[in-house]
Chain A
Amino acid sequence: MCDKTQASMETINEFLKDSSYSDLQEEMLSVNADDVNHINKMFISLHSERPRLSILPQMKENQLWTVQSSYLDFEGNMQHAKHKLIVMIVSGPDYLDSDTSFVRVCPISPFVEMSSEADCICDDSSVIGFPFVVETWNEQPVLTEILDKYVGDYNVLRNDKEDNPTSLQKEFREIEISNARFLNHSITAYINEKERDNNFAFSVDLHYHEVAKTVHMPILNVKNPKLISLSDHEEYAQAARLNNFFTENDSININDSNLPFSIEVRKRSGVYILTIIPKVEIVLTKDGQEIKGMSNSERLVYSDLPKGLYKIQSPLINEVLTIRLK
């Protein structure tokens, strides 16, 4: 590799390795109104209406999708990406169970200067707005539920050149593969949870106010059900901790001092019943679709809910509450 190129490529690797660049402290510079006007004028000619796609297409090969910046994994932990990711679907979707599917993807990187001769590069900026390299050496499985928005389609042209990456290009690949753990973790967490979910009747993951919490209901209709050890963010339903006998009438109760309402979850005949007490203004959604519930003067009840990831929004709380029924 050219000696002069080395330091410039090191700059990019150093940036990509840094896991906290987004936490940089801002420093105020004295910029006057003329400076701002000048910059604004520079952008006026570039103003255009952004296209909106109201329907998400069915996932298939060669599609480009953005990935959610954070997601609640199957073990009840919130995962955060270092930066926004775009991936290209290379196969799938395939199903892990009746409600959970995954695809195999290759992340794309805008750092085309880090590519080797054998890399697949899209030079056409009109595809997603900038040239990119398809990281074919960084293929990962990922749950479809963490893919966010459809961006476009791109067919990778086969590149038959021999792959002889330089040491800096190798380092770049290692960093990118390491950063892509955010993607395959969605699958790892699912598998980990599957290995132990037969110890519970059902469980609820909750993320709100920067705190993730998982509550498990032990096996029902068994006297002194076996309780396994749990990690820090997990706990058993209150009654289980008292070593009681459980039936389908028992619920997981979530009473958080940061929440203006409490949540009860029951599981009956394979479906979930979610109850909000007292009756407050909330919107419950799954995959972006609003779910209607029933109410009386005291409570709101959502019944026949399948397992999965739900969002609760309310004017009474400042952020979206994420809840997984599993």
Chain B
Amino acid sequence: MVKRYQWQKNIVVSGSKGSEWTEDDIKELTQQFFEWVMFNNKLKYVNRIPIDYLSYYFTQMFVSFISNRIKEEQQKVGISFQKCQELVKEICDEDYTIAKHLDRLYVVHSSSSTDKWITDLEDSIKYIAHYPIAESTKHFKPIVKLAVEDILVSANGYVLIDILANAVYQLLDQSAFSDASELITQPQEVIEENKYNNVVKEILNGVSKTEAQIYLKYIFQVSGQVSLSDLTSIYNMPKSTIHKKVEDFKNRIFSSYIPENEDDGVSFLQFLANSLDEISK
């Protein structure tokens, strides 16, 4: 099914590189599927299911599981350039006037006071504020719409549609989807202990010594780069279990504290790492 429907490999937690599904990836996917089945109590009343329906029920559960994983992955990657391009095209068709000039399509705002044909937006977007996209953002279209409006007003002329999508994409702030490990490689600032104390306490509530070690090693990379496979061997736990713990912990971090700026975020994570270090000893 993985091959027939060409599901992307990023739906499975994998140690292998590349986009090809390996035998190990398939096993991992199967294991994660069963974990999902158990976690969601899908077999609680399995004895009520007509026996000749069971095969289809398992197939249906598998498709639902994949569908769910795709949804989760999309929440991690924000909006793709392709999706942004599609939305820009859709918005231009719906809300603005489109004109053809030298065989290329341009879009213009109704308030435009000039007839210039614009093929470079660098100056126009220089002073426009960025639009943050968070993990919780469910609808991209309203945000893209605002960006299109701002750019067209600022450009004040006929804008080449092809470059408009580029400019909009540049204005979307998707830093919320960066990996936490990247953030702590930035320069450290003064730790504001009192400010973070309560939040960190809440995040670390119930975290065991082993879990603290796992988070430090995998998220904060304190002992160099380690993969899930490495952690599987060290702690004798299934890869998917470790992945789930790490993902839950990351979600807890990002839902508990919203940094004021990049430096604040770095300081917060440093404070969190120090506190984890205490637990891990």
Question: What is A's interface to B at a CB cutoff of 8 Å?
Answer: 2-5, 7-9, 11-12, 14-15, 18, 21, 24, 29-31, 35, 39, 42, 46, 48-51, 66, 69, 83-84, 86, 110-111, 113, 125-130, 148-149, 151-152
Contacts and interface: CB of A to CB of B under 8 A. Distances in A.
Nearest to A31: B27
Contacts of A151: 50
Contact of B139 (A2, A11, A30, A125): A2
Interface stretch (B61-69, B197-205, B227-235, B242-250): B61-69
B26 A51 contact: no
B48 A4 contact: no
Contacts of B178: none
Contacts of B140: 3
Contact of A149 (B50, B70, B83): B50
Majority-rule SS of B interface residues: helix
Interface in B250-274: none
B181 interface: no
B42 interface: yes
A118 B56 CA distance: 26
A24 B1 contact: yes
B23 interface: yes
Given A2-B139, A4-B74, A8-B67, A127 B56 contact: no
A130 B45 CA distance: 7
Contacts of B79: 3
A126 B63 contact: no
Given A83-B56, A129-B57, A8 B68 contact: yes
Given A3-B141, A4-B74, A86-B50, 12 more contacts: A2-B138, A3-B83, A11-B7, A21-B59, A29-B23, A50-B47, A110-B60, A111-B63, A113-B67, A125-B41, A125-B48, A128-B48
B49 interface: yes
Interface size class of B (residues with CB under 8 A): 35 or more
Contacts of A7: 70-71, 74
Contacts of A110: 57, 60-61, 64
Contacts of A18: 4-5
Which 8 residue pairs of A and B lie closest in terms of their CB atoms, listed nearest first?
A129-B49, A129-B48, A8-B71, A8-B67, A2-B138, A11-B67, A129-B45, A83-B56
B146 interface: no
A130 B42 contact: yes
A69 B53 CA distance: 10
Interface string B84-120: 0000000000000000000000000000000000000
B57 A130 contact: yes
A51 B47 contact: yes
Contacts of B70: 7-8, 11
Contact of B44 (A12, A30, A125): A125
Contact of A39 (B4, B34, B50, B74): B34
A14 to B, nearest CB: 6
21 contacts: A3-B83, A7-B70, A8-B70, A8-B74, A9-B67, A11-B70, A14-B5, A15-B5, A15-B63, A21-B4, A24-B4, A42-B38, A48-B47, A66-B52, A69-B52, A84-B50, A84-B52, A128-B50, A129-B57, A130-B57, A152-B48
Interface in B6-55: 7, 23, 26-27, 34, 38, 41-53, 55
Given A8-B71, A111-B64, A129 B55 contact: no
A12 B64 contact: yes
Interface of B: 1, 4-5, 7, 23, 26-27, 34, 38, 41-53, 55-57, 59-61, 63-64, 66-68, 70-71, 74-75, 79, 83, 138-141
Contacts of B7: 11
A84 B55 contact: yes
A141 B182 CA distance: 60
A94 B138 CA distance: 49
Nearest to A126: B45
A191 B60 CA distance: 34
Given A24-B1, A42-B38, A113 B64 contact: yes
Given A4-B75, A83-B59, A127 B48 contact: yes
Contacts of B53: 66, 84, 86
B73 to A, nearest CB: 9
A4 B137 CA distance: 9
A197 B38 CA distance: 55
Nearest to B83: A3
Nearest to A51: B47
A129 B26 CA distance: 27
A149 B38 CA distance: 28
B5 A11 contact: yes
A165 to B, nearest CB: 17
A18 B27 CA distance: 24
B139 A3 contact: yes
Contacts of B42: 130
Contacts of B83: 3
Nearest to B87: A3
Contacts of A49: 47
Contacts of B47: 48-51, 129
A9 B71 CA distance: 9
Contacts of B61: 110
B63 A11 contact: yes
Contact of A3 (B45, B67, B138): B138
A19 to B, nearest CB: 12
Given A42-B38, A66-B53, A4 B138 contact: yes
